[in-house]
Each structure stands twice: as C-alpha cells, then as structure tokens.
C-alpha cells in the first residue's frame, strides 16, 4: 500500500477518527464535465485553525462549498462531527467570498450581522432587540461598532470583510468555514481577523480558512490542507508544510515557492 | 376639480390597493434583479386566461385566476429550466418564454374569438373605470368586486412578506448563506414568483397589465433612490404607489380637459404618474439624486478652485512670479472672505492661516511629483498634472506615508523646495 | 412622394370591421409582398438581436418596443393638428423612433448615473412610456370619430396590411442594418466579448454601444407594423437564442439567427395567409419558438441532447478506463494472474456498482477483457496494451500536475485519450524522460486511489 503524498495518513476503512470535526470520504466534485476535485479523503481535527492552500483553480472554494452542500458532489460522503450535514447545520458558520454578494443591497452593517442569527431565530419570527444587541456585540468584537448603521456599500473592502466575520461570530458555531477572509484586506483588518480566529480556536472552535498567502501560513495556522484538484497533503503545519509538498502543490512556480521556502527557513531558525 | 364622485373614490381606492400590493413585491424583485420577471409574468398569463376561457366558456373569476396563476408560475419555471438545461443566459431565456406564451395567448384568443367575448387589449389596459359597476354585497354595502379581490391580494402579500421578511431578505442578499442556514432560497424564489403571478392576475381584470408592471417596478426603483435601507425603502415605495394612483386618476380626468378632450385611460395615466414620481426622486433624492450628485461635484470643484488659488499665491511669494499667472479676482475675493488672504499695499498676501493651508497643499503637490518621478517612473513634465489632481484628495496620513517612503526629500523633481512648515518661503 | 390613395384604400380595407384577411387571401401578389417583407424583417431582427443576446441585454428590445407607443400617438396628434394625414405610416414610424430614442436615452442615463439594476431601468422605461402611449390613445379615440382604431394595430401588428411600399421600406432598413453589422462586425465582437478590453484598445465603447442600441430601435420600428410592438421583441430574442445552440462562432451565429428569423417570418406569414383565423404576428413567433425548441434539443454546439450524449460517452469512457487501470495496477502489484471478480472490483469502488456491469461488458466487446470460467475477469493481451496506455497517460498527467500545476490546473483533462493532443509532443516527451529517470520511484506516483491489499475492501 502506497500513499506517497501524504504524511498524514487517514485511518483505513470508512470509520473516521472520533475527534474529527469534518470527515470527507472519497469525494469527487465536477463542474459541467471536468472534475474539479478528485477522490478527496480528509479528516479535519477539532479545535484547530486550518488553512486550505493551493494554486488558483485548485478547488479550494469548491471543497468548502461541497462540504456545505452548496455544490453537489458527484460522489463521496461528508460527516460533520460524525453526523450527516443536515443534522449539523446549526453547528456550522460560513463566511463566503466577499465578491459573492451585491454590496449595493439596501441593508446596514448591523442588518447583515443579524442575518447570522436568522437560523437561530427560525422561520417566521422577527429580529428583536436582543438579537440586535448581540449583533452589535459581534460588530464591537471586530471593531466596527461605529459603522453599525452604515449602508454596506459605504464600507471599505476590509470593513466589509469584518462585517462578514462578525456575522459568523454571532452564529456562535462550533465549526467555521471562511473563504479567503484575508484576501484584499488592509493590514489592520488582517490583524483583527487573525486575533479573532485565534480566539475562536482557543475557545475550542474549528476554523477552516481558504488562504492564499503562503508566507503567513506557518505563522497563522496550526493545520494545513494542501490542495490541487486532489489532496496533496494534510496535517499539522509543522509536519506537512515543507518544500517538497509545496512543490507538489504549486508545481514549478518558483517566485511563490521561494517566498515560502524563505518563510519555512525563518521559522525553522527561530 | 370637475366632479369627484363616489365612483371616482371607488376607482382610486381599487387602484391604490393594486398599486400597494404590486409595489410591496416590487421591492424584492428589484433587489433580486428580477424586475423584468414582473413584465414577463404579466405578459405570459395571457394563454392561461385564454385556456381558462376556452375550457369553462365563461369569464368567472375563479378559473381565470387559476389559469393565469398556472401560466405565471410556468413562466418562472420554464425560464429557469431553459436557462439551466440549455445554458441560456437568464434574461434571454425569460424573453423566449414570455414572448412565446404571449403569442400563444394571442393566437388562442383570436381562434376563440367567435366562442367567447375576449379581448387582448382588455388584458393590457384593464377596465378600471368600469370597476364600480360590478359590485358584491359585503356587510350590507355594495362593494366593487375588484376592490374585494385586490384587497385580498394585498392582504396575502402583506401576510407573506410580513411573516417571511427576513427569509426573503437573506435569500436575496446572500443565497449561499440562506442555503447554508437551511432557508431554501430556491423555494423562496418560487414563492415570490407565485405571489407575483397571483397579484398580477388579481389586478388584471381591473387595471390591466401595464399598471401591474409599472407598479411592480417604478415605485420600488424610486424608493431605492430615496433610501439605503430595506424597511424605509418599502415604506417609500408604498407611499409612491399610493400617490401615483391618486395623481394618475386626477390626471386621467383632468389633463385631457386642458386640450378639449374628455378623459383618458386611468391605468395609463397612473403609470405616467408613477414615472413622474420616479423623475422627482431621480432629480431630488437626498444622496443619490442627480441634483445632489451635481451639487457634490460643484462643491468639490469649488474647493479645488479655492485651493489652487491659495497655492498659486504661495508660489508668488516664493518669488517666482513667472511661474504662473496669479489667481483671478473671483477666487481672491473668496479667499479674503474666508480669512485666508488679504489685500495689502503690494498686492494680495496670505494670512497666517492661509499660509499654513497653502504650505500643506504645495508640500503635497511636490511630494507627489517626487513620488511619481522616483517611484512610478513618470516623466517630470507629466507628473505635474497628476499631482494637481492628487493634491486635493490626499489625507494627512497618506502624506506622512509618502514623506517617509521617499525619505523626506528636500526638493521636487523641478528643483523647487518642498516646504515643511508655514514660515514664509525663503 | 407617396401614393396617398393606396394608403387610404388599404387603411379603409383594414378598418373594415377586421376583415383584413380577405384582402390578403384575394391577391397572391400581396402574399408575396408580405412574405418578403416579414422575411427581411426577421433577418434584420435576428442579426441585430444576436449581438444583444450575447451582451446579456436581450430584454433591451422589449423596453424599446414599448417605448414606441407614445411616439405613435404623439405623431398622430401633431400631424393631425398640422393638417397632415395623421395615419401616414412614415410619420407615425418617425414618431415611434423619436420616443424610442428618448427611452434609450433614459435607460443610458439610469445606467450611468444611478445604482439601479439595469433591468429596473428597462422596466421603468417600458411601463411608463407604454402607459403614456395608452393614455394618448385614450385621448386620440375622441378625435374625429373612431379613426384612431387603426393605431392600436401597432400593439399587435397587422401583417397583412403590408404594401409594396412598406416592403420596400423594410428592405432598405434591413439592408442598412446588414451593412452596419458587416462594417462594425469586428468592433461589435469586441464589445460583446469584453467591453473593458475594447475600451482599453481605445475604441469608442459608448458610441458603439449607442450604435448597437440604435440598430435595435431601427429594427423595432420597422417591425411595428408587421408583428406589433408586443411581438417584435420575440424576433429580437428567440432566433438568436436558438442560433446559439448551433454554433460557437459569432459570425455563424449572426447568420444562423438571421436565417432562422427570416424562415420563421415566411412560414408564419404564409400560414396565416392560408388559414384566415391565425393572426400572423402570433404565428410567426410560435414558429420561431418551435425552431427554438428544436434547436435547444438538437443543436450541434450546445443542444441538450448533444451535451447529454457527450456526457454519457465521457462517463462510459472514464468507467472503462477506471476498470482497465484497476486491473492493470492489480497486475503490477503481482497478484496472481491479476484476475479479479466483478464483486471485488465493485468493492474497490473504481466504478459505481450500477455502471460496472456495463463497463465490463463494453470492455469485453472491445476484446480488452476476457471472462474466466470461475467468473473472474482478466486482461487480454490487447487489453493489457490498452491498459498500459491508459495508465501511462494517467501517470503523465499526474507528473504534469506536479511539475506544472500552478500554470494550468484547469487545462488538465485527465480523461483525454491522447495526452499529446492536449499538452503537445514536446511536453509529453519531457514528462516521459522524467518518469523514466525517476524509475521505480515514479511508479508510486500512479494514483491517489489507495489500492487495497488483495481481499480487503476499501
């Protein structure tokens, strides 16, 4: 039996580790006729800050959407804390890519955050004062309380991202999926987001983040999934985030690799 | 006002109910970019009506409602099906579906013309003027049937939107989140389509499809210009819809009189009135109106003119009078009024406050020139024009950043000193 | 200039209690005029509409056609007030074109100066202008008796009332539109495909955009009389949407669309000429819709059946390749004679169980697999060669992914039979060199499937 790409070997057989927040078994996803993800076998352990990295078009967003049932997988089985998705929806928070919504929409920042509570509020019931108070609380945690009444198109990109993050926070989920929350945000926002992600992790939550910046992977994340249409490697950052796997993930794109190699060397020397 | 009678009151009341129920839905159609779906559905119900006629041979309300609602929903479903299965862009697929259904309805109506009295133009214009003649007994009063039907439609829409407001909202804003939360955005979409079809049908007989389309789209669009928030947008759209109904009927009975005619189609004039209110909103809306936009532009241009005059005075003080012509009297007087410059014996001079502001501007300008030439490889003669614009929109943080990034340069690319404080130039 | 008497007579005929069809069935010449006129109209609309559909502005024509109604009403009122014959068609059409252009201006204003979605802008123009038109018609009806009844024919069209003069007008307009299409084809293609690029190239994008919209206005206006403002939009949308199923090339699409539009026009016009109780406008659109359905099903480029068949073919080929690989790799691992039972293959999950039987049968038909007496399957020599090629391609792809993944993971078509066709011979030669030099090591790159030891399921 050979499994040369993965140091982290998933346990054999269909039953997965009990501590896994997400277990994906043999999942294949296709858009139109081309498979985007092939035969993904993956366990994401609970209580970690997990980065999903890989080149453009590697299927990072697709992986998250497939786990959430937002795109249909051709085959495969997904378990969230050992149960099928439908039974665990309430445990999951999702932060989509910022470009995926219409920012001209006539709602305020607070309204957007309150949307995170809709599931908890349930069908037919209205958003009430306590919900708004909690939403404002979440906005305060991301440093956006003074923008609560702003219409969302009047916010900068970084601020919009923080609003999305606040919306995830207010859900108080056990498992978060975030699609490129650090893409195109200013340095201040990046620090706020990273601090919050760590707080979530320290509170025992599992946070899965699609990430694009190889230089910061080691600093920010303790678990990494390296993806390029199939899982190249998955495991603790210290074990799998090395040159060899990066090469297999990113191919010969040297500029990126050199940066990453530098980062690896820096950390090793520390 | 010529003769405002009970009949007019009933007409306006019925029209207001129709307008309100359409405008309420229109808000959600607008934010989902589905406005034209309203147009498509109102056209496409024609074959539903025709088939209902052909099957029952009567013009009873119930079969008509059912036939039209089925056709309306079919439009939405077929549009999605064709766009999905055939990978046709959504608006094209909508266009294919509704024109085909409309043509089918036309042909059916002509074919059936000898069997039932059915007129396609009645579907278009409705017969709002005739509604008070067809009444039902309700609690001892004679109430127009159309009034009752539209009141029921409005009640239905208000209930559904009231109960499912947040579900519609999240489904429209972020379908991904809505799906992840288990709110079935697809189902909500279909529900909106069904409501639109039912509303269109309820209003048809009385007001015709033009008014339905107008009230689905125009009040919501005008309201969107007035506000940035959904609840107040809904309120505005209802207000505009009601105002259009009143104004439209007045226009229909009054305006033709100015030219020596009697009256004209109320439904048509209501659409025009809605357009009029939209025009008002477009011009005068507080932030997004054309006037507000123009005022903002003029304000900015004024500030730029003032700042240019200030900087130009400063450059004169630098004893390079040939560098640039002095500012015109117009701007000098405005600088004076603001206490930034004053006339002296040897011409105009900057006040202390004016100089501080001028130094800041000139410093910004020259730093930008330095930056553009050094860091962005812009030719020095081109750098001037770019800096001219940048100097007016640079925050002090950005300025400090520039200064640091350039290692606090002393001179700009043309060799002029970059001033650091507000002492008079050497 | 024009033959007033002829116009008046035709209008009298047409007004005569809706018996217009009689005029039509009486004279063969008329039918020819109508058919030719409608064919040219269909061709012009089809060609112009193709660009609009590709630009995702299909419904623009809908708004514009509705915006012609107040123009017709105003032209009638003004002409009558000035003592001109109010119903003279060119005057009415000129009025229609004027308000249509105003409507276009409003749409552009709303698009550039507000944040309203474009379809709301279309809907506003559509409903408000049409409402104004209806109000004007209401007034006109009170002018000098019921002479305005003819104006309503612009809403639903009055194909059969078309005269040689009208046919000539349509022909001239259609020829001009065709000429503009041909002259600006390259620019329109750039505008359809990538407006930002066109702007960066220094093309006057806004002017081109306005030109394209102006062509829609022209096509709509000449279509008013024939099919009416409600249905002319169908000619602008349905034929182009149908043509899209047949081709991926813009030029071919414009031509196909024009041909479909012309064909629908002729068939519809003849049909309604022969069968008096079928209104021409509606029939023309229904014929176009039939063409759309046929195209959607059978279109060679994007038709549903074509795509479905391609999907099935792909699925079957992939299934067979998976089976071949599974058999071949089992052989490599040195299992005895590399024969495997169907149940064993099903357990290993290479192919979904319900598709496995078909894949095995297909491979047997091709002579790649043989069935042993004990019901197990084994590769034939020919099958072994085939499988070797499949496995080689697969490994080359893997290698390619590893070496060059960041450049183009989306180019990877792992199911392509001939890897050379996708990557080119040089690239394949290099990959083979790498694979050979890596030797036994490289053989372990073969598969992300874990190959379970014999007898054990996954």
The domains located in chain A, with CATH, are: 20-100+174-269 (3.40.50.300)
Q: Which residues of chain B have pLDDT under 50?
A: 1, 322-323, 423-426
Residues of B in contact with C236 (CB under 8 A): 95
Output b/e per residue, C240-253; b: 16+ Cβ within 10 A. Answer: bbbbbbbbeebeeb
Q: Which two tokens stand for residue C235?
A: 């000619």
Written as six digits, the tokens of A192 are 């706020």
**Chain-chain contact of C405 with A75 (C-beta, under 8 angstroms):** no
> How far is CA C233 from each of CA B95, C175, C417, rounded to the nearest angstrom?
8, 20, 45
Q: Tell whether domain C307-443 is in CATH 1.10.10.10.
A: yes
Six-digit token string for B27: 């808000």
Residue A107: per-residue pLDDT: 92
Taking CA atoms, A47 is separated from A223, C311, C346, in Å, by 10, 42, 37
Three-state SS at C74 = helix
* Contact between B30 and C120 (Cβ < 8 Å): yes
| Residue of C311, C407, C410 lying closest to A251 (CB–CB) | C407
C-alpha atoms less than 13 angstroms from C-alpha of C349 in its C-beta half-sphere: 16
Residues in chain B with CB shorter than 8 Å from the CB of C113 are: 290, 293
Nearest residue of B to residue C302, measured between CA atoms: B86
C-alpha Rg value of chain A to the nearest Å: 19
Q: Is the pLDDT of residue C4 over 70?
A: no
Using alpha carbons, list the distances in angstroms from residue C272 to A98, B107, C261, C286: 54, 11, 16, 12
Highest mean pLDDT among B82-91, C139-148, C160-169, C436-445: B82-91
Location of each CATH 1.10.10.10 domain in chain C: 307-443
Residue of C nearest to A102 (CA): C117
The domains of chain B, with CATH numbers, are 6-285 (1.10.3470.10), 294-405 (1.10.10.10)
Paired with A35 in beta bridges are A30
Task: Note whether B227 contacts A: Cβ–Cβ < 8 A.
Answer: yes
What is the arithmetic mean of pLDDT over A18-31?
79
Based on the number of CB atoms within 10 Å of its own CB, is C365 exposed (0-12), middle (13-18) or buried (19 or more)? exposed
Non-local (6+) Cβ contacts of A225 within 8 A are: A42, A44, A50, A51, A52, A53, A63, A231, A233, A234
C352-407: per-residue pLDDT in tens? 777 888 888 888 898 888 888 888 888 888 888 888 888 877 777 666 666 665 44
Average pLDDT of span C422-434 = 70
Residue range C4-230 in CATH 2.30.110.10: no
Query: How far B408 CA sits from the closest chain A CA (Å)?
Result: 24
> Residue A107 is nearest to which of B173, B176, B224, comparing CB atoms?
B173
Residues of C with Cβ-Cβ distance to B106 under 8 angstroms: 156, 230-231, 279, 281-282
Chain-centre distance for alpha carbon B272: 16
Cα–Cα distance measured from residue B23 to residue B424, given in angstroms and rounded to the nearest whole number: 64
For residue C230, which residues of chain B lie inside 8 Å, CB to CB? 43, 102, 106
In which band, very low, low, confident or very high, does the pLDDT at C16 lie, cut at 50, 70 and 90?
very low
Find the closest chain B residue to C294 by CA distance. Answer: B86
Residues of C within 8 A of A230 (CB-CB) are 448
Residue among B35, B74, B114, B129 with most chain C CBs within 10 A, to mutate: B35
When scoring B173, B229, B237 by the number of chain A Cβ atoms within 10 A, the one with the most, hence best to mutate, is: B173
Rg (CA), chain C: 32
Q: Characterise B305 by phi-psi region: left (phi > 0), alpha (psi -120 to 50), beta (else).
A: alpha
Could you tell me which of C221, C225, C238 has the C-alpha nearest to residue C280?
C225
Give burial (CB, 10 Å; 0-12/13-18/19+) of B84: exposed
Most confident of C78-92, C238-252, C298-312, C318-332: C238-252
Structure-model confidence comparison of residues C224 and B120, the more confident one: C224
Please check whether residue C56 touches B, CB under 8 A: yes
Q: CA of A12, closest CA in chain C: separation in Å?
A: 8
- The helix (H) or strand (E) run that includes residue B323 is none
Instruction: Give the number of other Cβ atoms within 10 Å of residue B143's Cβ.
Output: 18
Per the model's pLDDT, the better-predicted residue between A11 and B239 turns out to be B239
Residue C27 has pLDDT above 60, yes or no: no
Tell me the ipTM for this assembly.
Answer: 0.85
- Partner residue facing A251 (CB), from C402, C410, C444: C402
Residue range(s) in chain C whose domain bears CATH number 1.10.3470.10: 4-230
pLDDT the model gives residue C149: 58
| The pLDDT value given to residue C446 | 39
Structural contact between residues C328 and C388, judged by C-beta atoms closer than 8 angstroms: yes
- Mean pLDDT in residue range A156-167: 90
User: In this structure, are residues B242 and B250 in contact, taking their beta carbons and an 8 Å threshold?
Assistant: no
Q: Cα-Cα-Cα-Cα dihedral of C440, C445, C448, C453, to 10°?
A: 0
B contact chains, 3+ CB pairs < 8 A:
A, C
Check the CA dihedral B206-B210-B212-B214 and report its sign: negative
- Return mean pLDDT, chain C: 79
Say yes or no for a CB contact (<8 Å) between A249 and C352.
no
Q: Between chains, do A89 and B167 touch, taking CB under 8 Å as contact?
A: no
Query: How many angstroms separate the CA atoms of C216 and C50, rounded?
Result: 11
**CB spacing of C231 vs B259 below 8 angstroms:** no
Question: Chain C: residue nearest A75 by CA?
Answer: C352
């Amino acid at each position: 039996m050979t499994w040369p790409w993965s140091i982290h070997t998933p346990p054999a057989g269909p039953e997965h580790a009990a501590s896994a927040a997400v277990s994906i078994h043999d999942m294949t996803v296709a858009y139109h006729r081309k498979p985007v993800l092939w035969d993904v076998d993956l366990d994401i352990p609970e209580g970690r800050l997990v980065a999903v990295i890989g080149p453009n078009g590697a299927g990072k967003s697709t992986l998250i959407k497939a786990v959430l049932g937002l795109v249909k997988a051709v085959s495969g089985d997904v378990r969230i804390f050992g149960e099928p998705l439908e039974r665990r929806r309430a445990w999951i928070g999702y932060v989509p890519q910022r470009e995926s919504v219409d920012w001209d929409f006539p709602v305020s920042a607070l309204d957007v955050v309150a949307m995170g509570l809709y599931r908890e509020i349930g069908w037919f019931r209205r958003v009430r004062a306590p919900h708004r108070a909690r939403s404002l609380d979440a906005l305060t945690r991301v440093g956006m309380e003074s923008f609560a009444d702003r219409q969302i198109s009047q916010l900068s990109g970084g601020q919009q991202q923080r609003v999305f993050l606040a919306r995830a926070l207010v859900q108080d989920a056990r498992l978060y999926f975030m699609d490129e929350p650090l893409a195109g945000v200013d340095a201040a926002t990046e620090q706020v987001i990273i601090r919050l992600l760590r707080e979530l992790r320290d509170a025992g939550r599992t946070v899965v983040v699609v990430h694009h910046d190889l230089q910061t992977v080691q600093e920010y994340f303790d678990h990494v999934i390296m993806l390029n249409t199939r899982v190249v490697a998955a495991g603790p950052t210290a074990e799998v985030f090395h040159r060899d796997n990066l090469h297999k993930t990113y191919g010969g794109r040297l500029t990126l690799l050199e940066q990453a190699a530098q980062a690896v060397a820096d950390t090793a020397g520390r | 006002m010529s003769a405002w009678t009970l009949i007019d009151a009933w007409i306006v009341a019925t029209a207001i109910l129709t307008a309100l129920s359409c405008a309420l839905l229109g808000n959600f159609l607008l934010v989902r970019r589905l406005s034209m779906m309203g147009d498509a559905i109102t056209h496409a119900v024609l074959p539903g009506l025709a088939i209902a006629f052909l099957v029952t041979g009567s013009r009873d309300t119930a079969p008509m409602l059912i036939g039209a609602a089925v056709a309306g929903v079919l439009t939405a479903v077929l549009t999605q099906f064709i766009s999905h299965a055939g990978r046709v862009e959504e608006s094209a697929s909508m266009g294919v579906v509704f024109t085909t259904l409309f043509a089918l309805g036309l042909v059916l109506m002509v074919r059936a013309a000898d069997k039932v009295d059915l007129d396609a133009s009645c579907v278009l214009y409705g017969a709002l003027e005739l509604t008070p003649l067809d009444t039902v007994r309700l609690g001892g009063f004679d109430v127009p049937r159309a009034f009752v039907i539209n009141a029921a439609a409005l009640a239905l829409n208000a209930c559904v939107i009231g109960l499912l407001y947040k579900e519609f909202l999240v489904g429209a804003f972020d379908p991904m989140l809505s799906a992840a939360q288990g709110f079935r955005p697809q189902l909500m979409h279909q529900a909106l389509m069904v409501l639109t079809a039912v509303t269109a049908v309820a209003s048809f007989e009385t007001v015709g499809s033009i008014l339905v389309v107008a009230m689905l789209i125009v009040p919501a669009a005008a309201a969107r210009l007035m506000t940035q928030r959904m609840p107040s947008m809904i309120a505005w759209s209802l207000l505009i819809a009601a105002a259009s109904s009143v104004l439209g009927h007045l226009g229909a009975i009054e305006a033709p009189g100015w030219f020596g005619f009697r009256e004209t189609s109320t439904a048509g004039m209501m659409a025009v009135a809605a357009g009029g209110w939209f025009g008002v909103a477009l011009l005068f809306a507080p932030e997004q109106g054309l006037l507000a936009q123009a005022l903002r532009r003029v304000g900015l241009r004024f500030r730029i003119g003032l700042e240019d005059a200030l900087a130009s005075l400063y450059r004169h003080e630098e004893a390079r009078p040939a560098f640039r012509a002095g500012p015109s009297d117009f701007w000098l007087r405005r600088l004076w009024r603001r206490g930034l410059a004053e006339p002296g014996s040897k011409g105009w001079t900057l006040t202390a406050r004016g100089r501080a502001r001028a130094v800041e501007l000139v410093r910004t300008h020259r730093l930008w020139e330095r930056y553009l030439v050094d860091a962005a490889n812009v030719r020095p003669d081109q750098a001037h024009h770019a800096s001219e614009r940048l100097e007016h929109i640079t925050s002090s943080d950005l300025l400090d950043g520039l200064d640091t990034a350039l290692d606090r340069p002393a001179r700009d690319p043309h060799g002029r000193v970059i001033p650091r404080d507000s002492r008079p130039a050497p | 200039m024009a033959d007033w008497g002829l116009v008046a007579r035709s209008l009298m005929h047409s007004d005569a209690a809706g018996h217009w069809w009689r005029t039509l069935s009486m004279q063969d010449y008329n039918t020819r005029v109508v058919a030719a006129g409608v064919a040219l109209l269909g061709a012009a609309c089809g060609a112009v509409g193709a660009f609009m559909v590709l630009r995702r502005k299909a419904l623009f024509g809908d708004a514009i056609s509705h915006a012609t109604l107040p123009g017709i009403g105003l032209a009638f009122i003004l002409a009558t007030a000035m003592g001109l014959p109010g119903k003279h068609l060119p005057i009415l059409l000129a009025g229609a074109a004027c308000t249509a252009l105003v409507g276009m201006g409003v749409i552009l204003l709303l698009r550039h100066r507000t944040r309203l979605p474009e379809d709301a802008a279309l809907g506003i123009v559509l409903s408000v202008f049409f409402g104004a038109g209806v109000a004007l018609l209401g007034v006109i009806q009170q002018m000098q008796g019921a002479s305005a009844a003819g104006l309503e024919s612009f809403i639903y069209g009055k194909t059969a009332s078309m005269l040689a003069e009208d046919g000539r007008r349509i022909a001239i307009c259609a020829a001009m539109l065709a000429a503009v299409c041909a002259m600006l084809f390259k620019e329109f293609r750039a505008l359809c495909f990538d407006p930002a690029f066109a702007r960066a190239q220094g093309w006057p994008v806004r002017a081109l955009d306005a030109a394209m919209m102006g062509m829609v206005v022209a096509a709509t206006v000449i279509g008013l009389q024939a099919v009416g403002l409600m249905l002319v939009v169908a000619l602008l949308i349905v034929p182009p949407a149908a043509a899209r199923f047949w081709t991926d090339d813009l030029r071919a699409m414009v031509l196909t669309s024009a041909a479909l539009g012309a064909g629908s026009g002729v068939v519809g016009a003849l049909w309604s000429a022969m069968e008096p109780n079928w209104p021409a406008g509606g029939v023309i659109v229904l014929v176009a819709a039939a063409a759309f359905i046929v195209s959607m099903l059978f279109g060679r480029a994007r038709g549903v059946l074509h795509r479905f068949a391609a999907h099935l073919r792909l699925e079957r080929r992939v299934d067979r390749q998976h089976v071949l690989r599974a058999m071949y790799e089992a052989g490599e691992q040195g299992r005895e004679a590399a024969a495997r039972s169907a149940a064993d293959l099903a357990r290993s999950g290479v192919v979904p169980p319900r598709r496995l039987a078909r894949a095995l049968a297909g491979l047997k038909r091709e002579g790649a697999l043989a069935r042993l007496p004990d019901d197990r399957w084994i590769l034939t020599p020919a099958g072994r060669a085939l499988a070797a090629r499949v496995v080689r391609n697969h490994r080359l792809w893997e290698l390619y992914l590893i070496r060059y993944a960041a450049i183009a993971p989306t180019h990877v078509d792992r199911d392509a039979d001939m890897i050379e066709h996708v990557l080119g011979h040089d690239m394949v030669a290099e990959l083979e060199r790498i694979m050979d030099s890596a030797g036994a090591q490289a053989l372990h790159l073969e598969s992300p499937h874990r190959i379970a030891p014999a007898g054990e399921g996954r």
